[in-house]
């Protein structure tokens, strides 16, 4: 049985509370008490799974006596008709948990499926597909888990685990000394926190490559030709380069060919379409 963080545990409880309220009146009045059934969740579209453990936990929290068998695990590729979770227990309980369990599973599998498309398009290059902080409030931990299930890589979780100095933070270019002092102080106070600087121009890339203790340079909305030049400017060592801006399924392959190490894609989470999954009772 999987264990969950306090945030995820609370999210499951909140989702059940908002759906059930004072009780499932449909199941209470229209399904006989004590009736036991067997059901299954299956895929109605091709894709990749994420959230199997979350869905199973939803059923358990509604009724600890429900028996669950995961047919597939997170990260599994599924095709139409594939069973992913088997359920047996009190019929009322299964019906009460059904929608909440599917909401988690469909949303997270949609993120995994969306991510897998980007990952497939950059195969053969060194580029890794990154997620962003453009996540559903409260769902970040789960959506980033789903990105990994789809073959992607997690960027920073929040404002606390990586310093990302964007254009709204950056001081004038003639104050690189002040920026270096800030980096040094950060590394002294938080040795495990990485530093990433956002560059809008090749001139900024040149300046940032002179700084010490910089882990990443973000190439923001640069043309592919300029990103290739940035890769050449970096040489064989130095901060790793991340491409961002204007990334979609049409452009990602060409961006990967520039030689960048990472490509961040907000659409992995903010524009994912839920994977079509359904629950059916056996006769």
DSSP letters along 107-134, please?
A: HHHHHHHHHHHHHHHTTTSS-EEE--S-
- Average pLDDT on 206-227 reads 97
Catalytic residue (one of 57, 143, 198, 242): 198
What is the distance, to the nearest Å, from the Cα of residue 251 to the centroid of all Cα atoms in its chain?
A: 20
Contact 29, 75 (CB under 8 A): no
pLDDT for residue 41 is more than 90: yes
Considering the chain, tell me which residue range(s) the CATH 3.90.1170.20 domain(s) occupy.
6-119+272-281
The CATH number fitting domain 6-119+272-281, selected from 3.90.1170.20, 3.90.1300.10, 3.40.50.1860, 3.40.190.10: 3.90.1170.20
Q: Please tell me the least confidently modeled range out of 55-59, 88-92, 176-180, 211-215.
A: 176-180
Active-site annotation holds for 220? yes
Active-site annotation holds for 134? yes
pLDDT digits (tens, 9 = 90+) for 16-27: 999 999 999 999
Active-site annotation holds for 74? no
Considering the chain, tell me which residue range(s) the CATH 3.20.20.70 domain(s) occupy.
123-270
Q: Phi-psi category of 51—alpha, beta or left, where left has phi over 0 and alpha has psi -120 to 50?
A: left
Strand-strand pairing, 83-90 and 67-70: antiparallel
Catalytic residue (one of 134, 140, 187, 240): 134
Where does the pLDDT of residue 194 fall: very low under 50, low under 70, confident under 90, or very high at 90 and above? very high
Per-residue tokens: 4: 């969950």
Per-residue tokens: 214: 């910089």
CATH superfamily assigned to domain 123-270: Aldolase class I (3.20.20.70)
Per-residue tokens: 87: 């359920």
User: Is pTM beyond 0.75 here?
Assistant: yes
Active-site annotation holds for 144? no
Calculate the average pLDDT of the chain. 96
């Amino acid at each position: 049985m999987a264990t969950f963080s306090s945030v995820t545990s609370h999210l499951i409880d909140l989702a059940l509370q908002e759906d059930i309220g004072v009780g499932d009146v449909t199941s209470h009045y229209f399904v006989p008490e004590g009736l036991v059934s067997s059901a299954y969740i299956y895929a109605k579209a091709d894709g990749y799974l994420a959230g199997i453990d979350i869905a199973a936990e939803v059923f358990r929290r509604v009724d600890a006596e429900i028996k669950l068998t995961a047919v597939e695990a997170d990260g599994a590729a599924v095709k139409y008709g594939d069973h992913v979770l088997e359920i047996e227990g009190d019929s009322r309980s299964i019906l009460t948990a059904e929608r909440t369990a599917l909401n988690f599973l469909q949303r997270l599998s949609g993120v995994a499926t969306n991510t897998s498309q980007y990952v497939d398009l950059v195969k053969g290059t060194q580029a890794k597909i990154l997620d962003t902080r453009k996540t559903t409030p409260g769902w970040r931990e789960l959506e980033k888990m789903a990105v990994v299930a789809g073959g992607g890589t997690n960027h920073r979780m929040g404002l606390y685990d990586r310093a990302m100095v964007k254009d709204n933070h950056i001081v004038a270019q003639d104050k690189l000394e002040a920026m270096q002092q800030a980096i040094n102080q950060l590394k002294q106070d938080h040795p495990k926190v990485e530093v990433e600087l956002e560059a809008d121009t090749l001139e900024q890339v040149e300046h940032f490559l002179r700084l010490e203790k910089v882990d990443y340079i973000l190439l923001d909305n640069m043309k592919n030709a300029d990103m290739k030049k940035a890769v050449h400017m970096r040489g064989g060592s130095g901060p790793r380069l991340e491409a961002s801006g204007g990334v979609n399924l049409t452009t990602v392959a060409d961006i990967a060919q520039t030689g960048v190490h990472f490509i961040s894609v907000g659409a992995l989470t903010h524009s994912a379409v839920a994977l079509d999954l359904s629950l059916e009772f056996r006769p």
